[in-house]
Structure 1
Amino acid sequence: MPDDNLSAILYKTGDLRLENRPIPEPQDDQVQIRMAAVGICGSDVHYLVKGSIGDFVVKAPMILGHEAAGVVSKVGKNVTNLKVGDRVAIEPGVPCRYCDFCKTGRYNLCKTIFFCATPPDDGNLSRYYCHAADFCFKLPDHVSLEEGALLEPLSVGVQACRRAGVTLGSTVLICGAGPIGLVNLFVAKSMGAAVVIMTDIAENRLTKAKELGANFTVQIQPGQTAEDTAKVIEETLGQSPDITIECSGAESSIKLAILATRSGGVVTLVGLGPPEVKVPIVNAATREVDIRGVFRYANCYDAALALVASGKADVKKLITHNYKLEETLEAFETSRTGAGGAIKVMIHC
């Protein structure tokens, strides 16, 4: 068992370093975890490249990583739900548990939530990490630690599809076939969507989407207008989708989401791009297209784990690249550039 705590620390834009930090000791309600698998999320890359996401700005050195799983190595004195040796997935957001949002079950909106690798909170791309025991989920023996790490993006899909109202027989358009688009494909299908059509600019991602169960794919061509793409989608389906889940954050794609969705339908915005975008809001209003936001997730990890454990969501197929913790800088470069058709890059701690 390693006795160092090698950690991936972002100092500022473009400055990611591997350094040793002290091994943390668990508080009374926490467990210490020997980290095993940490996926690189688009937000990790965004902090590295841009130094901020919206109002969240990197002002002090911060450990990256929040798609994570590991093995319990110590338990705090109040912990009864876990023991040393348990393999756990880590839900990275720990709310206050006291405010109205927490009390009503929408704890993702808690104003004082601790969230791994969101400034100023450290993440868990390190050898050892301590976390609230009630936000750690014990993995069944047949679920791997890599799959446990991928419960985090899968939970985003659960939240998005719940917010969108996906149900038996739904026709769903998913804009963007990156990791978040693909987990939404898994969840939409498992919730009863009859048809899922996916768009992207990259052919390799659409090939992966077909492999994972998308009924149709549409590759966005350079210079193609949102109006034209909406027509292609309608012609392909023979109708307009009831629900659109927008996972790219690109202004053109949000516009497409609104124009392509049938009147009376729902657009759910998952991807985060610029803070302000120009969209056809009057078109949405006059056709009663509901626009709903998604921020992380709440009470979704149990469902995500059930999807993986039952085989309904084969998230292992998202992993295209594997690196050791010592190779973190190389791993981030692969994720940033998409080299070698990268979809999900996994770091083994």
Structure 2
Amino acid sequence: MKAAVLEHPLTISIKSLERPVPNAGEVLIKITAVGLCGSDVHYYEHGKIGRFVVEKPIILGHEAAGEIVGIGEGVTSLSVGQRVAIEPGMTCGECEFCRDGTYNLCSEVEFLATPPYDGAFCEYVTMREEVVYPIPDSMSDETAALIEPFSVGLHAVRRGTLTEGETVIIMGMGPIGLMAAANARLAGASMIVAVDLEEKRLDMARQFGATHTVNLREGKLEEELAHITDGRGVDLALETAGHPDALRQAIQAVRRGGRVVIVGLPPVDEVSLPVPYMVDSELKLIGVFRYHHTYPDAIKLLSDGKVDITQMITGKYSLEETGAAFQAAIHDKANTLKMMIYPG
């Protein structure tokens, strides 16, 4: 099979590799569409994200969909010919987190495109049966691939315990911010304030459910939000930008007793926070790491067509053009949101 391999930072080569064979409990999937994630870009540019370091050539890409073309021994719930979405993390199934349902915290997870595990910028992958989900005929390959970032937004909204009628602010309208906006809308938020530096991303945020937008290049967030909320602040803030200033602004944006959900990872390990303000306001600070138990619900939510998450696709590339997709994502941030790779 062909694969786009990251040889070292900023260098991707198209290689001919042996097609994988499914073991017992696994299926072989022909990949049809893969989204380019911000984490892929970090590995491409810098060769690491936090404690995860690329130490040998690796295949990136974890937002994937495809068609089952082979079945391993013992697989009973799937069959050849089914179109599927792939949940990219295969956990141990035995640790305390797997047993209590928070399997996203499993320390033994094998997650596609997270070193040392290869991802899906290739023609075929094998996955365990329990992380492969059939999709309806009406769902496109692109939508199925984007269930992965949609799941991050869904998990963030759930962690924030958003209830119908509450108000939300989202810091950063990249793909995850957009997915958070879509899920906040589906959860019944009465007000969704989208914040970014790029007007094109704010335009897209309106398509995904934002009722108000704030361009930080044109105004101060504190003043704009005071006007929008009559000085009250919002019930829930979702920080998806991964910037220390955005996190501090999110904390200042919520009402007394409000909640702040941290989704984005800042480029530094430590960030200064207004602790006296947080204590005085009795704020809840909540972390988000990937997701759990989201794929079946996400497939249902996206099957009725109420939300078209493929709107955020701004570029389509063949497998041979994977390097060009990375370059576009790095050098044209103002005009790129989600790049889609088609290994077929």
| TM-score (normalised: structure 2) | 0.97
Tell me the amino acid that sits aligned with residue 24 of structure 1.
Answer: P
Tell me the amino acid that sits aligned with residue 53 of structure 2.
Answer: V
Instruction: Pick from 150, 154, 175 the counterpart of residue 146 of structure 2.
Output: 150
2:303 maps to 309
Instruction: Pick from 74, 77, 92 the counterpart of residue 96 of structure 1.
Output: 92
Structure 1: segments with no counterpart, 5+ residues = none
Find the aligned partners of 2:176 and 2:39 in 1 and give their Cα distance: 12
2:235 maps to 242
Structure 1 residue 318 corresponds to structure 2 residue 303: no
Cα 1:235–1:340 shift into 2, 3 Å: closer
SS at match of 1:272: coil
Deviates more, 1:81-90 or 1:301-310: 301-310
Find the aligned partners of 2:332 and 2:97 in 1 and give their Cα distance: 37
Find the aligned partners of 2:248 and 2:331 in 1 and give their Cα distance: 26
Find the aligned partners of 1:338 and 1:171 in 2 and give their Cα distance: 32
Tell me the amino acid that sits aligned with residue 34 of structure 2.
Answer: V
1:264 maps to 257
SS at match of 1:331: helix
2:321 maps to 327
Find the aligned partners of 1:304 and 1:230 in 2 and give their Cα distance: 34
Write the mapping of 1:1-349 to structure 2, written as runs, cut at 5 A: 5-221=1-217, 228-238=220-230, 239-273=232-266, 274-338=268-332, 341-349=335-343
Deviations 1:24-77 (A, max 9, x none): 000111100010000000000011111111111111111100000000010101
- State whether residues 62 and 121 of structure 1, in contact with CA within 8 Å, keep that contact through their aligned partners in structure 2: yes
Deviates more, 1:8-17 or 1:69-78: 8-17
Tell me the amino acid that sits aligned with residue 270 of structure 1.
Answer: V
Tell me the amino acid that sits aligned with residue 237 of structure 2.
Answer: T
- State whether residues 33 and 70 of structure 1, in contact with CA within 8 Å, keep that contact through their aligned partners in structure 2: yes
SS at match of 2:234: coil
- State whether residues 35 and 341 of structure 2, in contact with CA within 8 Å, keep that contact through their aligned partners in structure 1: yes
Q: CA deviation at 1:339?
A: 5.6
Tell me the amino acid that sits aligned with residue 229 of structure 1.
Answer: L
Deviations 1:154-199 (A, max 9, x none): 0001110000011110100000011000000110110111110010
Tell me the amino acid that sits aligned with residue 307 of structure 2.
Answer: A
Find the aligned partners of 2:340 and 2:297 in 1 and give their Cα distance: 22
| TM-score (normalised: structure 1) | 0.95
- State whether residues 187 and 313 of structure 1, in contact with CA within 8 Å, keep that contact through their aligned partners in structure 2: no
**For the aligned residues, what is the CA RMSD?**
1.2
Find the aligned partners of 1:339 and 1:199 in 2 and give their Cα distance: 16
Q: CA deviation at 1:337?
A: 2.1
Tell me the amino acid that sits aligned with residue 283 of structure 2.
Answer: V
Runs of 4 or more, structure 1, over 4 Å off, are none
- State whether residues 162 and 236 of structure 2, in contact with CA within 8 Å, keep that contact through their aligned partners in structure 1: yes
Find the aligned partners of 2:310 and 2:141 in 1 and give their Cα distance: 10
- State whether residues 32 and 130 of structure 1, in contact with CA within 8 Å, keep that contact through their aligned partners in structure 2: yes
Tell me the amino acid that sits aligned with residue 31 of structure 1.
Answer: V
SS at match of 2:85: strand
Find the aligned partners of 1:128 and 1:254 in 2 and give their Cα distance: 39
Tell me the amino acid that sits aligned with residue 314 of structure 1.
Answer: D
SS at match of 2:70: strand
SS at match of 2:255: coil
Q: CA deviation at 1:216?
A: 0.3
Cα 1:276–1:340 shift into 2, 3 Å: closer
Deviations 1:278-337 (A, max 9, x none): 221221122111100000001011111111102232111111111111111111111222
Q: CA deviation at 1:234?
A: 2.1
Find the aligned partners of 1:206 and 1:109 in 2 and give their Cα distance: 32
- State whether residues 235 and 258 of structure 2, in contact with CA within 8 Å, keep that contact through their aligned partners in structure 1: yes
Find the aligned partners of 1:280 and 1:12 in 2 and give their Cα distance: 40
Structure 2: segments with no counterpart, 5+ residues = none
Q: CA deviation at 1:276?
A: 1.3
Q: CA deviation at 1:137?
A: 0.6
Q: CA deviation at 1:231?
A: 2.8
Find the aligned partners of 1:100 and 1:60 in 2 and give their Cα distance: 31
